[in-house]
Chain A
């Protein structure tokens, strides 16, 4: 497996290490897009822990999350040409992709709802971020955290549980014990404020 040779050591989180790992991942994605199937294993080794964490958080069930993850890599194998290194960091792109596929499984009813009590699912992960997560753009990370923390608590919390927990409006309003319409307007107003804040700092 070549990734371990060219990637950073697992404990290195220096920005040089992160840059090298990012470059290795971009190169592997480009090799995959040009038809080199062996590149998928390298991508898998470098990203499966991160992407599985995302799928598991949203789906709350290991088997479902594994099926989602399999789907992510097989789709990537077929459609690697869709990644554009000039426009996105590879790990952000893959993370978004994995999250979308997991949400999709929730919404298309492939997953038995309530397989894991919602409260249990939320607390599965309190693990410290892994070194490879440093691959995500640090500046953008700081910006979105800043903008979310500027929202009032109830709005920020609703937006976060939609984003991380795959909750629907109905589930969010139930959890916060407010009418559906109230939850919708919290989220809509919150996202409008968030957008203004994100644009201001660009």
Chain B
């Protein structure tokens, strides 16, 4: 087998972890051969799952799913909404700047115990990512505000080289990389996300930053090399 086949086999068995897993996902978005190799194994091994007996989930699970499917939850009082918006605007302004500090804090805290019954963080809470750039001490701070489907991208430490742009991508757990736009060096930018794209972002969602020609990835070309990667964390 080629190295590609081996990697695909390990991926399908679920053996890849951490950096290896991330870079595999990023490569799959660009390399059709790798996707074909993964698909070979997935199709051939899927019948093994026949051996597993079924099990009944809790009877309320369907209700939970149906509740999440509500297309547009009522917007509620305009006043409330405006207040909420202001709150997150303030939180976000501070958040982007505090992202580095918060990241350190998260690292220093003991790992949260995911005890049964502990709820996930509120879906309204912002998600943050602090992405180290290569070997440098520079960081790209990304804050996502679920309430507003908006993303703040702060690249204040970065400078333009005049030849390249950097493009930020979301790595969904399934499917192709989704562009989150060009990163503007030295600026903090506010980006409105399409609902379809916003839905893909969750606690733990991974991102990669690629080096592209000026203007971003040309439509007919593969994405450029991955220069940095990171993941969203709920604070």
Contacts and interface: CB of A to CB of B under 8 A. Distances in A.
A128 B50 CA distance: 10
A159 interface: yes
A130 B65 CA distance: 24
Interface of A: 37, 40-41, 44, 48-50, 52-54, 56-57, 61-66, 69-70, 73-75, 77-79, 82, 88, 92-93, 95-97, 99-101, 103-104, 106-112, 115, 124-130, 132-133, 136-137, 140-141, 143-145, 148, 159-160, 162-164, 166-169, 187-188, 191-192, 195, 198
Contact of A70 (B42, B53, B65): B65
Nearest to B71: A37
Contacts of B231: 108
B175 A130 contact: no
B220 interface: no
A144 B47 contact: yes
A67 B9 CA distance: 27
B159 interface: no
Interface string B160-189: 000000000000011100000000000000
A147 B49 CA distance: 15
B48 A144 contact: yes
B52 to A, nearest CB: 5
Contact of B53 (A64, A77, A109, A125): A125
Contact of A133 (B21, B50, B199): B50
Q: Pick the 8 closest A-B CB pairs, nearest first.
A: A127-B53, A49-B54, A141-B47, A103-B14, A191-B9, A53-B54, A92-B46, A162-B13
B113 interface: yes
B61 A79 contact: no
A134 to B, nearest CB: 8
A50 B10 CA distance: 24
Interface string B31-75: 000000000101111111111111111100110111011000000
Query: Interface majority SS on A: helix, strand, loop or mixed?
Result: helix
Given A92-B47, A103-B14, A191-B1, A41 B62 contact: yes
B65 A50 contact: no
A52 to B, nearest CB: 4
Given A97-B174, A166-B14, A195-B5, A136 B46 contact: yes
B5 A44 contact: no
A92 B43 contact: yes
B69 A66 contact: no
A163 B47 contact: no
B49 A129 contact: no
Given A41-B62, A48-B57, A163 B175 contact: no
Contacts of B64: 70
Nearest to A45: B62
B17 interface: yes
Contacts of B54: 49-50, 52-53, 127, 130, 132-133
B114 interface: yes
Nearest to A142: B47
Contact of A144 (B10, B45, B55): B45
A40 B49 CA distance: 22
26 contacts: A40-B65, A41-B66, A49-B54, A52-B54, A52-B56, A53-B53, A66-B57, A66-B58, A74-B68, A79-B174, A93-B46, A96-B42, A108-B231, A129-B52, A136-B47, A141-B48, A144-B44, A144-B45, A159-B13, A166-B14, A168-B15, A169-B15, A187-B15, A192-B1, A192-B5, A198-B44
